Amino acid sequence: MCLGICVLFVMALTVLFGMVGCAPSRASIESSRTFYDAVTPEYRAYVEGDEGLTDEQKARRARLLEARQFELKALEEADSE
C-alpha cells in the first residue's frame, strides 16, 4: 500500500514536470502544491500509524515529504521573482 502511494506520487510529479520542459509553469507549480497539500496529511498519518514500518523506514518517508516541501517552496519562490 505504502509503496503504491509513493509510486503514484512520483509518477504524478514526473508527468507534471516532464510536460513543461526546464522550468515548470505557474499552473504546474500550483497543481503540485495542491496535490502535495491534499495527499501529504493522509500519507503522513498512514506512515506514522503503520506498525509494520521500522523507525528508519518512517524517518525515510518523512524525509521524502520534507524534501518535496523544500522543492515546492523553492519553485514557488523562483516563480514569484
Domain extents for the chain? 2-80
Q: Which residue has the cell 522543492?
A: 71
Task: Report the pLDDT value the prediction gives residue 80, as an integer from 0 to 100.
Answer: 84
Decide: pTM greater than 0.85.
no
- Tens of pLDDT along 11-59? 666 666 655 556 778 889 999 999 999 999 999 999 999 999 999 999 9
* CA–CA distance, 15 with 18 (Å, rounded to integer): 5
**In the chain, what's the furthest Cα-to-Cα distance?**
44
More reliable by pLDDT, 60 or 9: 60
Task: Report the pLDDT value the prediction gives residue 11, as an integer from 0 to 100.
Answer: 65
Task: Report the pLDDT value the prediction gives residue 69, as an integer from 0 to 100.
Answer: 95
